Amino acid sequence: MMKSAHAAWIGATLGVAALTLAGDVAALQPLSRDEIIARAKTVVGYSYWWGHGKWRTDGAQHGSCSGSCPSCSHSGSYGADCSGFVGKAWQVPSPSPVTQEQSPHYTTWSYAGSSSMWGPISKTAGKRGDAYVYNSGGAGHIFLFEGTTNWSYVKAYECKGCSYGCVYGTRELSAVYSGRRRAAVTDVVDTDGDGVPDDKDNCDTVDNKDQKDTDGDKKGDACDTDDDGDGDLDTKDNCPLAKNPDQIDTDKDKKGDACDTDDDGDGVLDAKDVCPLVADKSQQDTDKDKQGDACDDDDDGDGVKDAADNCPVVANKDQADSDGDGRGNACDGDDDGDGFPDATDNCPKVANKDQADLDADQLGDACDDDRDGDGAPDAKDNCPDDPNKDQADANHDGVGDACEGDLDGDGVPNDRDSCPAAANPGQEDDDGDGAGDACDDDRDGDGVSNAKDNCPDYPNAGQEDVCHDGDSGLDPTGGKDLELTLAPTASEEAGGCGVSPPGGSRDSGLGLMGLGLLLVLGGRRERRS
Amino acid sequence: MAIGAVVALRARSTAPGGAPAQTPASKPPSSVTARRPVPPRPPLPAARPSVSGGAVVFGAAWGSGPSELGRSAARESSPMAPMSFVPGPAGQALVLDQVNQRVQLVEGGRVVRSIPLPSETFDDVARLAGGRVAALDRLVARSVAVVGPSGEVEREISLAGGEIERAGDVTSLHARADGLWVEVDHDRLVRIADGAGAPAESRSVVPGRFSADGASWLRARVDADRGVTVTSTPRAGGPPEQARVVFALPVLSVAALESDATGRVLLVATTIDEAPVAPYDVLRVEETLVVLDRQLAELRRIALPAKTTPEEQLVRYRVGPDGALYSLSLDDQGATLRRIDP
């Protein structure tokens, strides 16, 4: 039944085809070879469906075939037999979506015959989109030509049969097959076979599918000798795809800066390089101004250009240079140039090789405004080198007592003066105790202070009135002081010891005692001398 | 009948005076196509007619019986018949009877065993050890199946990947001691499995078919000027040898490029004479075996029966272990395996 039905179908189709073949040529739309092949590719994988020719471009719903055709069974809504496939690929007699059947459905018998919609070609003249058909004794097959192998086997798209479905593969072309070419094929000349017709190809002799034309001069890069149109031939252009007439190549790597992602060749890409044109692997940027030190004329950003900056990488607006060695204090390890590093120099800004520090306050004398650390600034300290908080200056000579050499100004240096603070040029010291009489509160050394001693110049521990002044010495009010004369009176020499009070005579009872005193005093003088 | 001639394109030393000369004791230096002037074509030698296309080794009628081979008629589909075969020693052969989903093992002129196949879509077959076969399905499964003696599929190796952009571009299957190879575009061989049958981790590519003597890779290419250029690339390195085989008629296709253990190269080409104008009726079809020596110099030509049936075949000729060329031809009665002594 299938056979008869098929025969009827064939007859009906052919009958229609016989009329159609002649009449529908006007509906035949021009088609390029690439379009034919592009449509053919979408059939691969679909099932063989005898008597049909439709499928989907999304590859879905392949359908399936089983059995032996024409007695085969098909399931699904899509599939094609060999002729239905070619008719759809060729869009004959008129265009329709691949998802719809072509009407009429031409068979291999149709294709093997003559038509104004297709014509015969030599077997060896096949081109993309042509077909090869065989039909004999009710049997026939047709497939589409895409290309050939080295042996001239055909690279073919075909709906091969129930077991195979619609496939792409190489196959032999036996002599029983005849070549067919669709009419109105825009025999697009594509000399280089890149899929772009020559009349649209910006390089029609060189395969360039992408049609890239960097400089837009309508000559594709693939055949343009100056792709970027900068006047430099590509063979010599260090950036053939970037306009750079100057050909600057900072790192001389033969890749111009215009296309080099690392112009200075320091391994840091330009986009991140703080000095894209100066090689600097360290990427140092002292002042963080995004301009690396290698190309920044003011590395520390202190407003002083590096060429003149005495500390180029340490900000120092003042440019202070204590020792004038050309290296600013901000970066000089020894600002005062005294040989002592600043970190340990007790006067880092003042040269002091001796590092003298009188008051040991870690601040060297050379820069200490209070050397002796007595709280009195040196400028006002009357003894800047001798601590004297009280600033005493007994003789008001502006030199503090602590450092005064002759405090009392008696001509005798302090260190020898028996009374440094009391002028005693004669250095008298009656009792010879080292304290001059001028400052000795017990001149005679008798243990009784001068103020209480009735004879302050004569030793009288018992306070006997040895100086005959009528003052027993016990009088707390003092009484008359005894005056001694060195030379005894005549009476004394006569055996008395009269000590003459000023203007008066003395009792001779004291004469011997007076003589004794004289002897004692003389001895003392001798001792003293 | 005049068939064609080989014009060897080799560098030749030139004696003083300009006349080409050849040192008697040495062979012409090997080189790729010479750029020196091509010497005039010698007269085309007549082909020695074959004896009925060779001695019959095996014949089978069409059908699905145990000793038959399958053929499917075309009803808006491709007519199919045994796509391939592999000659073996002492009259043995494997015939790919894919229409009947089997491989027929032939011995002593008859089918002795069949190996079942899982589908009808296999295109080529190769002999493996242990009674196993490798079967190529390049269009549907897009793989090579290793099939055991009882038809169990032991392994399937996908064709896709690496050097094989489209499985449909595979043109033949080759089994060697170092593994399974497939030919692509009749141009190069790609190794898809190692000697143990495991998929190759990285696919090697060689520029042509392995010659039977192992010395070179062979390749043939049809050109537009009635010629076929045969290239032999030494495996040991060095420039390839090339020779252009010229025919009297345009070449429709190459049907075979084989070699034997002595280094001979066997080229079979189909040539066709068509009417010069539409509908380009076929006036004459010829099939010629050209025997070349190791240096690709022509030894002789043998006319073979041209194919007259529409059934597609992937492999119509193969060299057997005995150095003879075997052909599988078809007609309305059945298929015939013949042995041709080159």
Give yes or no for A152 touching B (CB within 8 A).
yes
3-state secondary structure A144-194: EEEEECCCCCEEEEEEEECCCEEEEEEECCCCCCEEEEECCEECCCCCCCC
Question: pLDDT tens for residues A502-520?
Answer: 444 444 444 444 444 444 4
Q: In what order do the strands lie in the sheet with B110-116?
A: B84-87, B93-97, B102-107, B110-116
Using CB atoms within 10 Å of the CB of residue A521, give its burial: 0 to 12 exposed, 13 to 18 middle, 19+ buried.
middle
Q: If you measure CA to CA, which chain A residue comes closest to B279?
A: A120
Asked if A113 reaches chain B (Cβ–Cβ under 8 Å), the answer is: no
pLDDT at B197: 86
Q: How far apart are CA A336 and CA A330, in angstroms?
A: 12
- Residue range A439-447: average pLDDT? 92
The whole-angstrom separation of Cα B204 and Cα A438 is 127
pLDDT attached to residue A470: 59
- Looking at beta carbons, which residues of chain B come within 8 Å of A120? 278-280
- Which tokens in the block code for residue B116? 């079942």
Residue-level pLDDT at A509: 43
Residues from chain A contacting residue B285 (CB–CB below 8 Å): 175
In a domain, B276, yes or no: yes
Same structural domain for residues A176 and A36? yes
Q: Is the pLDDT of residue A493 over 80?
A: no
Measured between CA atoms, how close is B10 to chain A, in angstroms? 21
Q: What is the per-residue pLDDT for A213?
A: 94
Chain A residues near residue B316 by CB distance under 8 angstroms: 172
A11-30 mean pLDDT: 52
Residue-number span of the structural domain to which A178 is assigned: 2-186
ipTM, 2 dp = 0.87
What is the domain extent for residue B256? 1-10+30-49+209-306
Query: By the CB < 8 Å criterion, does B254 face chain A?
Result: yes
Q: Is residue B289 part of a domain?
A: yes
Cα A99 from chain centre:
63
Asked whether residue A299 is domain-assigned, the answer is no
| Closest C-alpha to B115, from B164, B81, B148 | B148
Distance CA A510, CA A516 (A): 10
Shortest CA gap A95–chain B (Å): 22
Q: How far is CA A405 from the centre of its chain?
A: 66
End residue of a domain, out of A368, A390, A414: A368
Q: Which residue of A82, A123, A176 is in closest CB contact with B77?
A: A82
B40-71 pLDDT tens trace:
434 444 454 444 578 999 999 999 999 999 99
More confident of the two residues B39 and A385: A385
Tell me which chain A residues have a C-beta less than 8 angstroms from the C-beta of B80. Answer: 161
**B13, exposed or middle or buried, with CB in 10 Å at 0-12, 13-18, 19+?**
exposed
pLDDT over 80 (residue A333): yes
Whether residues B75 and A50 touch (CB distance < 8 A) is answered with yes
pLDDT at A187: 67
Q: In chain A, which residues have their Cβ closer than 8 Å to the Cβ of B245?
A: none
* B169/A163 Cβ within 8 A: no
Interatomic CA distance for residues A318 and A316, integer angstroms: 5
Interface test with A, best of B62, B72, B75 (most A CBs within 10 A): B75
Whole-angstrom distance, CA of residue A395 vs CA of residue A381: 15
| Range in A175-189, A333-347, A353-367, B84-98 with the lowest mean pLDDT | A175-189
pLDDT tens for A383-429 read 999 999 999 987 788 888 888 788 787 888 888 889 988 889 999 99
Residue B65 is assigned to a structural domain of this protein: no
Does residue A176 belong to the interface with chain B, where contact is any CB pair within 8 Å?
A: yes
Residue A359 pLDDT more than 70? yes
Q: Does A68 contact B at CB distance below 8 Å?
A: yes
Residues 6+ away with beta carbon under 8 Å from A452? A473, A476
Same domain assignment for residues A22 and A159: yes
Q: What pLDDT, on a 0 to 100 scale, did the predictor assign at position B5?
A: 39
Q: What integer pLDDT is reported at residue B175 of this predicted model?
A: 96
Comparing CB atoms, the residue among A168, A176, A177 nearest residue B168 is A168
Contact status of A122 with chain B (Cβ, < 8 Å): yes
Distance CA A242, CA B282 (A): 58
Count Cβ neighbours within 10 Å for each residue of B240-270 and write b for 16 or more, e otherwise: bbbbbbbbbbbbbbbbbbbbbeebbbbbbbb
Q: Which residues of A touch B258 (CB under 8 A)?
A: none
Do A35 and A174 fall into the same domain?
A: yes
Residue A188 binned pLDDT confidence (cut-offs 50, 70, 90): low
pLDDT at A244 over 70: yes
CATH number of the domain at A120, please.
3.90.1720
Share of chain B above pLDDT 90, in %: 78
Average pLDDT over residues B301-325: 95
Q: Round to the nearest angstrom and report the end-to-end CA distance of chain A.
A: 173
The answer to whether the Cβ–Cβ distance between B77 and A123 falls below 8 Å is no
pLDDT of residue B16: 33
Q: What total number of domains does chain B contain?
A: 1
Kindly tell me if the per-residue pLDDT of A329 is higher than 60: yes
- Contact call for A150 and B185, based on CB within 8 A: yes
Question: How many domains does chain A divide into?
Answer: 3
Chain B residues with CB-CB distance to A166 below 8 A: none
Question: Are A357 and A494 found together in one domain?
Answer: no
Residue bearing tokens 């020196």: B36
Of residues A82, A148, A150, nearest to B219 (C-beta): A150
State whether B140 and A167 contact (CB < 8 Å): yes
Nearest CB among B222, B312, B314 relative to A152 is that of B222
In which band, very low, low, confident or very high, does the pLDDT at A441 lie, cut at 50, 70 and 90?
A: very high
Q: Please report the pLDDT score of residue B237 as a whole number.
A: 94
Does B188 map to a domain? no
- pLDDT of A15: 40
Is B42 a domain residue?
yes
**CA-to-CA separations, B218 to A4, A192, B232, in angstroms, rounded:** 52, 28, 5
Last residue of a domain, which of A123, A153, A186?
A: A186
Cα of A170 to nearest chain B Cα, Å:
6
Return the pLDDT at B224: 81
pLDDT of residue A409: 79
Do both A357 and A506 map to the same domain?
Answer: no
- Check A151 against B253: CB less than 8 A apart: yes
User: Per residue in B122-142, pLDDT tens?
Assistant: 999 999 999 999 999 999 999
pLDDT at A266: 95
Query: B78 and A82: CB-CB below 8 Å?
Result: yes
- pLDDT at position A407 is 75
Instruction: For residue A151, give the nearest of B166, B220, B313 by CB distance.
Output: B220
Asked whether residue A250 is domain-assigned, the answer is no
The answer to whether the Cβ–Cβ distance between B307 and A171 falls below 8 Å is no
Of A108, A122, A150, the CB nearest to B186: A150
A354-363, A473-482, B35-44 — which is least confidently predicted? B35-44
Boundary (domain end) residue, out of A169, A186, A203:
A186
Quick one: which H or E segment has residue A40?
helix A33-41
Please answer whether residues A197 and A190 qualify as being in contact, where contact means their C-beta atoms are separated by less than 8 angstroms: yes
List alpha helices for A44-120, DSSP H: 82-90, 108-112
Whether B310 and A134 lie within 8 Å, measured CB to CB: yes
B265 located within any domain: yes
Place A1 in a pLDDT band, splitting at 50, 70 and 90.
very low
| Residues above pLDDT 70, as percent of chain A | 82
Q: Between A120, A143, A170, which is nearest B171 by CB?
A: A170
Model confidence over B156-205: pLDDT tens digits?
Answer: 999 998 889 999 999 999 999 999 999 999 999 999 999 888 999 899 99
AA letter at A508: S
- Give me the pLDDT at residue A396, please: 83
- Per the CB < 8 Å rule, is A136 touching B310? yes
Q: Does A175 touch chain B (CB under 8 A)?
A: yes
The answer to which of A96-100, A391-395, B270-274 has the lowest mean pLDDT is A391-395
CB-based contact (8 Å) between B314 and chain A?
Answer: yes
Q: What pLDDT, on the 0 to 100 scale, is given for residue A467?
A: 81
Cβ-contact A150, A140 below 8 angstroms: no
H or E element in which residue A13 lies: helix A2-23
Alpha carbon of A15: minimum distance to chain B alpha carbons (Å): 18
What integer pLDDT is reported at residue A472 of this predicted model?
Answer: 52
- Min Cα separation B254/chain A (Å): 5
Are the beta carbons of B147 and B133 closer than 8 angstroms? yes
Please name the residue of chain A whose CA is at the shortest distance from the CA of residue B286. Answer: A175
Chain B partners of A141 at a C-beta cutoff of 8 Å? 74, 76-79, 310
Scanning B12-71 for CB atoms below 8 A from A yields none
Contacts of A159 in chain B (CB under 8 A): 77
Whether residue B170 lies within 8 A of chain A, CB to CB, comes out as: yes
pLDDT at A205: 81
B276: preceding bond cis by omega (within 30 degrees): no
Residue B114 lies inside a defined structural domain of this protein: no
Q: Do B285 and A160 touch (CB under 8 A)?
A: no
